[in-house]
């Protein structure tokens, strides 16, 4: 009787799961087996604010591109501006009182204790004015980098909840590729190893290289995450696209 032994290779999410605890990875597999990967942005952010104010204007809608330094969302901050003006005036008043006390002590008209009280009042008023000036900077949500709006969660005339994300943005000037590979491949794959990545949605192949290795192996699937960058940004590529990577060298 002839016994037939089968090795099952299953594809799991963005990588390859080798089923069976004793199943080996063939030496040539790393050169010929494709692994699934995901296109993701270098940077992404969900921007929120603790400013309690009405949204005056939204400058970019979902899918729009913006540049670093552009205003994404503007708030109606008339009340905050008035509060800051009042605090600045009070700070000037306390400064005059402190200057007056500092002069009078030279004439013996007041004691040092009075001067210190004036100084403390001025310091407090100046700090409150500075805090309100900083608060006014939140009246404009400024783009931290070139990118696109991934999701818009607020509209003009709304008063958003404190701490709730208002807009989600991504940097689309360059992308990373996230790959999940069998952990045994770490014997061969190191930072700098090259691969070819085929993007399903575009039908285009782009060269890339590994830049970071995962910090931990998944103990259940015995896989590890790898992060790579592409040599160039494919035309029309956007975050979330998927594809397959084939490595160019090495074996375990």
CATH of the domain at 56: 2.40.50.100
Same domain? 166 vs 52: yes
Pairwise CA distance, residues 126 & 91, whole Å: 5
Q: What is the pLDDT of residue 204?
A: 94
Helices (H) and strands (E) in the chain, counts: 3, 15
My answer on whether 234 and 205 are in the same domain is yes
Regarding whether 131 and 103 lie in a shared domain, the answer is yes
Same domain, 156 and 214: no
Q: Which residue has the tokens 């992404």?
A: 44
Of the candidates 29, 8, 4, the one whose C-alpha atom is nearest the C-alpha of residue 19 is: 8
Residue 57 shares a structural domain with residue 164: yes
Structural domain includes residue 252: no
Based on the fold, state whether residues 155 and 193 are members of the same structural domain.
no
CB 175 within 8 A of CB 39: yes
Residue 163 and residue 61 in one domain? yes
| pLDDT score recorded for residue 32 | 58
Decide if 78 contacts 56 (C-beta within 8 A).
Answer: no
One domain for residues 82 and 133: yes
Task: Please report the pLDDT score of residue 233 as a whole number.
Answer: 86
CATH for 21: 2.40.30.170
| 128 part of a folded domain | yes
14 & 125 share domain: no
Give the Å distances, CA to CA, from 203 to 14, 156, 243, 244: 18, 40, 9, 11
Provide the residue range defining the domain that includes 198: 9-42+174-247
Question: Is residue 178 within 8 Å of residue 38, measured between CB atoms?
Answer: yes
The reply to whether 3 falls in a domain is no
Task: Please indicate, yes or no, if residue 2 is contained in any of the structural domains.
Answer: no
Q: Which of 81, 69, 73 is nearest to 54 (CA)?
A: 73
How far are the Cα atoms of 9, 29, 69, 126 from residue 50, in angstroms, in the given order?
50, 52, 20, 22
Asked if 71 and 159 sit in the same domain, the reply is yes
Q: In the Cβ-directed half-sphere of 128, how many Cα atoms lie within 13 Å?
A: 18
Residue 67 lies in a domain: yes
Instruction: Give the strand pairing for 35-41 and 54-58.
Output: unpaired
Q: How does the average pLDDT of the chain come out, rounded?
A: 86
Are 164 and 58 part of one and the same domain? yes
User: pLDDT value at position 22?
Assistant: 38
Task: Report the SS3 class of residue 70.
Answer: coil
Is the domain of 37 the same as that of 52?
A: no
Q: Which residues of the chain register pLDDT less than 70?
A: 1-32, 249-252
**pLDDT of the residue at 10:** 38
Number of domain units in the chain? 3
């Amino acid at each position: 009787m002839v016994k037939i032994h089968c090795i099952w290779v299953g594809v799991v999410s963005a990588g390859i799961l080798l089923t069976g605890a004793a199943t080996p990875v063939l030496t040539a597999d790393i050169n010929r087996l494709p692994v699934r990967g995901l296109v993701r942005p270098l940077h992404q952010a969900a921007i929120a604010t603790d400013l309690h104010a009405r949204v005056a204007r939204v400058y970019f809608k979902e899918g729009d591109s913006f540049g670093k330094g552009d205003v994404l969302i503007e708030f109606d901050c008339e009340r905050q501006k008035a509060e800051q003006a009042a605090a600045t005036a009070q700070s000037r008043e306390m400064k005059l009182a402190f200057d007056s006390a500092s002069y009078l002590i030279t004439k013996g008209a007041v004691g040092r204790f009075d001067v210190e009280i004036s100084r403390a009042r001025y310091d407090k008023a100046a700090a409150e004015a500075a805090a309100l000036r900083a608060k006014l900077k939140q009246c404009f949500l400024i783009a931290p980098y070139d990118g696109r709006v991934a999701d818009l969660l607020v509209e003009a005339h709304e008063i958003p909840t404190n701490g709730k994300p208002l807009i989600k943005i991504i940097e689309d000037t360059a992308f990373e590729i996230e790959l999940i590979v069998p952990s045994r491949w770490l014997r061969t794959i190191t930072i700098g190893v090259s691969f070819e990545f085929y993007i399903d949605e575009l039908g285009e192949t782009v060269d890339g290289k590994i830049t970071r290795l995962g910090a931990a192996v998944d103990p259940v699937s015995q896989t590890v995450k790898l992060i790579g960058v592409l040599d160039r940004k494919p035309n029309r590529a956007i975050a979330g696209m998927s594809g397959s990577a084939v490595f160019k060298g090495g074996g375990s």
